[in-house]
C-alpha cells in the first residue's frame, strides 16, 4: 500500500538496470523516460532526489486520481506481472571488521535443479493463492490490499560463507496477512469464513532439540524459573543465543533491555544479564548447550521453512487455502483440524519428533 505521504519511492539510476535476476529490465533510462512523459501529460508529480543513494519519489496528480476514481478502478484491477524471482538469496553487509549494519545485498546465483524445483513450488503456490477467495472485513484501520499474495522464499548467506547455498533461512515473505498486526488478522475471510490460526508450540527450541537428537521436556519450553512472566523476553533471548555465531556476547539487543517489566513489553527484568539468562535456560534445557554460539538459528529457520512449504503444498492438494506465518498458518475455521493433522504429520516426518500444534479462532 502507498505510504501516508501519498508518495512512492522509486529508483531511477542507470546502475540498477536489469543486471541481475532480481531487477526489472525497465529500470534506468526506460523508466526515467516514462516518468518524464507521464509528468508532462499531468499524470504524476516526480520529485527527483539530489542526494546520492537516496530514492526519488512519485505521486499521482489530482486530475489522474479523479479519473481513476471515476472509472471505478480498485486494487482488484492492479496486479503483478508473472515471472518475478521468488527464490531470493542475500548476504549481510559487513562494516568495521565483524560489525554488521543490518543491511543486505542481493546475491546473484547460478540455478541448479534444486533452485528450479523450489521456484516451481513457489509459483504453483502463488497461482493457487491468486485464485483464492480471500477478503478483509473493514475494521476502520489502514487499507488492506488482499491482492498482495505473492510469496517469496528468502535465503541468507552468513558473512563467512564462501559459496552459494540454500540451507539457511528460506522463510516466506510477501503476503499481506504477514504484515497485519495480530489483532487485525481476525478481519481476514477465506471463502467468506472466519479464520483459525495454527502455530507450532515453542517451535525453535523444539527444532534445536531435534538437531541434537534429544527429547524436550513437557510443557512450554520458554517457561524458565524466575522468568515466568517474561515469556516473550525469554523467546527473544533464546533466539539470540541460537543465532549468535560466537559465545562471547556481553549484552542484549535494545529490545531485550527495555525495563518494561512485563511479558507484553518483550523485555527481560533488570539484572538478567546474558550470562545469568544463559545459565537459567541451560538449567532447564541442558541438552541445548551445543546449540548456542554456533549460528544454528539460520539452519533451524530453514528446517522451519521446509516444514511450512510442505504443509502448504499438502493443503493445496486438498483444495484448502492456507496463509503461511513462518511457524504457523491461517486457514478457514472449518479446515482447522485438517490443517493441524497436516502440520503434525509433516513436523514428525521432517524432525522425527512430535511438534505440538495450537489452534485458535480469530474474529
Q: Dihedral sign, CA of 179, 182, 184, 189?
A: positive
What is the tens place of the pLDDT at every residue in 272-300?
999 999 999 999 999 999 999 999 999 99
Angle (deg, nearest 10), helices 113-130 and 296-317? 50
Query: What gap in Å lies between CA 103 and CA 95, rounded to an integer?
Result: 10
pLDDT of amino acid 10: 83
C-alpha cell at 103: 543491511
Of 87-91, 102-106, 235-239, give the lowest mean pLDDT range. Answer: 102-106
Q: Dihedral sign, CA of 100, 103, 108, 113?
A: positive
pLDDT of amino acid 17: 46
Query: pLDDT > 70: what percent of the chain?
Result: 91
What is the tens place of the pLDDT at every residue in 230-263?
998 999 999 999 999 898 999 888 767 655 444 4
Mean pLDDT in residue range 212-222: 95
pLDDT of amino acid 52: 67
Cβ 215 vs Cβ 268: under 8 Å: no
pLDDT of amino acid 94: 54
Residue 50's pLDDT band (boundaries 50, 70, 90)? confident
Range with top average pLDDT, 25-34, 98-107, 253-262, 311-320: 311-320
Range with top average pLDDT, 21-35, 111-125, 251-265: 111-125
Mean pLDDT in residue range 131-137: 96
Q: Dihedral sign, CA of 45, 46, 47, 53?
A: positive
pLDDT of amino acid 298: 94
pLDDT of amino acid 261: 46
Amino acid at each position: 500500500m502507498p505510504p501516508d505521504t501519498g508518495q512512492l519511492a522509486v529508483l531511477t539510476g542507470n546502475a540498477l538496470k536489469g543486471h541481475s535476476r532480481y531487477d526489472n529490465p525497465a529500470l534506468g533510462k526506460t523508466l526515467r523516460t516514462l516518468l518524464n512523459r507521464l509528468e508532462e501529460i499531468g499524470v504524476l508529480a516526480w520529485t527527483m532526489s539530489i542526494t546520492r543513494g537516496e530514492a526519488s519519489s512519485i505521486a499521482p496528480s489530482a486530475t489522474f486520481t479523479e479519473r481513476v476514481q471515476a472509472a471505478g478502478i480498485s486494487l482488484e484491477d492492479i496486479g503483478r506481472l508473472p515471472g518475478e524471482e521468488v527464490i531470493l538469496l542475500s548476504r549481510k553487509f559487513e562494516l568495521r571488521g565483524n560489525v554488521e549494519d543490518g543491511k543486505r545485498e542481493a546475491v546473484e546465483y547460478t540455478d541448479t535443479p534444486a533452485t528450479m524445483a523450489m521456484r516451481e513450488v513457489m509459483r504453483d503456490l502463488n497461482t493457487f493463492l491468486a485464485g483464492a477467495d480471500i477478503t478483509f472485513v473493514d475494521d476502520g484501520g489502514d487499507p488492506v490490499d488482499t491482492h498482495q499474495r505473492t510469496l517469496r522464499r528468502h535465503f541468507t548467506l552468513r558473512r563467512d560463507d564462501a559459496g552459494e547455498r540454500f540451507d539457511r533461512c528460506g522463510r516466506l515473505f510477501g503476503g499481506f496477512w504477514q504484515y497485519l498486526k495480530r489483532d487485525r488478522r481476525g478481519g481476514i475471510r477465506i471463502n467468506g469464513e472466519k479464520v483459525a490460526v495454527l502455530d507450532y508450540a515453542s517451535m525453535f527450541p523444539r527444532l534445536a532439540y531435534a538437531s541434537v537428537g534429544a527429547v524436550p521436556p513437557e510443557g512450554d519450553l520458554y517457561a524458565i524459573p524466575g522468568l515466568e512472566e517474561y515469556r516473550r523476553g525469554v523467546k527473544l533471548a533464546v533466539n539470540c543465543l541460537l543465532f549468535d555465531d560466537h559465545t562471547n556476547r556481553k549484552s542484549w539487543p535494545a529490545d531485550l533491555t527495555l525495563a518494561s517489566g512485563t511479558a507484553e513489553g518483550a523485555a527481560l527484568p533488570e539484572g538478567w544479564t546474558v550470562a545469568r539468562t544463559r545459565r537459567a535456560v541451560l538449567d532447564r534445557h541442558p541438552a541445548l548447550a551445543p546449540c548456542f554460539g554456533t549460528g544454528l538459528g539460520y539452519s533451524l529457520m530453514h528446517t522451519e521453512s521446509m516444514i511450512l512449504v510442505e504443509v502448504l503444498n499438502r493443503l493445496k492438494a486438498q483444495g484448502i487455502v492456507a496463509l503461511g506465518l513462518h511457524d504457523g498458518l491461517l486457514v478457514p475455521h472449518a479446515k482447522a483440524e485438517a490443517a493441524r493433522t497436516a502440520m503434525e504429520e509433516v513436523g514428525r516426518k521432517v524432525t522425527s519428533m512430535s511438534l505440538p500444534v495450537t489452534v485458535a479462532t480469530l474474529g
